[in-house]
């Protein structure tokens, strides 16, 4: 949950370009923030990766259509945690109890890891049946929302780049899911750049 505490610390020019990109899908000469602070040009990213950053559809299904294999969601870690600070994006206040989930989107044929997703969920604001299936780790959040028939939409809040402890670059996006007009889920998805650029990647 700590990754969502506080502000991003990005420069105003970078924040502006990112905001335009996530809203419009195209920003000529746009850049995204990347550690250790040097911006990365959006036009240098693989085209499909740029599309993933701005899509408001179910990522699992998009990955299946692109890589042409079933994609499964592996829950790496799941726990309840009490917020120490506020998370305004989904109206979390200090003391609120939220569900934390770290998951991997994996191709069932190739074994490749297409993305990792970190989720912060206000479970008290979702219907009991949906909540239990979520806690039971039945399927991915996006597919679960679709199958449940809940009125929802996604709003992309931020895009950027991270570097893993192994030194691998990943492009990330953070978005929130609005269910029945209330923001209840905050998700950060990270996509390994090497895989989408066609380079050999570790499964």
Q: What is the pLDDT of residues 82-127, one digit of tens each?
A: 999 899 999 999 999 999 999 999 999 999 999 999 999 998 887 7
- 70-73, long-range: CB < 8 A, 24+ apart: 70/107, 70/108, 70/109, 71/105, 71/106, 71/107, 71/108, 71/114, 72/105, 72/106, 72/108, 73/103, 73/104, 73/105, 73/106, 73/139, 73/140, 73/143
**Is residue 203 over pLDDT 60?**
no
Q: Are 100 and 80 in contact (CB under 8 A)?
A: yes
Q: What is the pLDDT of residues 11-63, one digit of tens each?
A: 444 455 566 666 666 677 778 777 766 788 888 889 999 889 888 778 888 99
Amino acid 191: pLDDT: 94
The CA–CA distances, whole Å, from 118 to 2, 19, 42, 73, 85 equal: 11, 21, 23, 12, 18
For the chain, what is the mean pLDDT?
Answer: 81
Kindly state the tokens that stand for 26: 């195209």
**Is residue 173 over pLDDT 80?**
yes
Closest CA to 167 of 203, 200, 193, 189: 193
Mean pLDDT of all residues in 76-87: 91
User: Tokens 């912060």 belong to which residue?
Assistant: 120
Q: What is the pLDDT of residues 126-149, one digit of tens each?
A: 777 777 777 776 566 766 766 666
Kindly state the tokens that stand for 200: 């050999």
Whole-number Å distance between alpha carbons of 4 and 185: 12
């Amino acid at each position: 949950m700590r990754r969502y505490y506080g502000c991003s610390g990005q420069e105003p020019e970078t924040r502006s370009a990112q905001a335009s990109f996530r809203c419009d899908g195209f920003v000529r000469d746009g850049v995204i923030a990347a550690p250790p602070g040097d911006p990365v040009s959006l036009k240098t990213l693989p085209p499909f990766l740029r599309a993933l950053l701005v899509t408001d559809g179910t990522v699992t299904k998009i990955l299946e259509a692109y890589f042409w294999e079933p994609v499964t969601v592996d829950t790496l870690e799941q726990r309840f945690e009490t917020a120490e600070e506020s998370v305004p994006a989904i109206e979390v206040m200090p003391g609120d109890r939220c569900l934390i989930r770290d998951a991997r989107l994996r191709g069932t044929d190739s074994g490749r890891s297409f993305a990792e997703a970190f989720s912060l969920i206000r479970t008290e604001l979702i219907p009991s049946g949906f909540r239990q299936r979520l806690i039971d780790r039945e399927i991915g959040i996006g597919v679960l929302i679709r199958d449940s028939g809940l009125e929802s939409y996604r709003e992309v809040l931020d895009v950027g780049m991270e570097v893993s402890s192994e030194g691998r670059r990943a492009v990330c996006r953070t978005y929130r899911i609005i269910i029945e007009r209330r923001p209840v889920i905050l998700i950060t998805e990270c996509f390994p750049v090497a895989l989408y650029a066609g380079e050999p990647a570790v499964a």
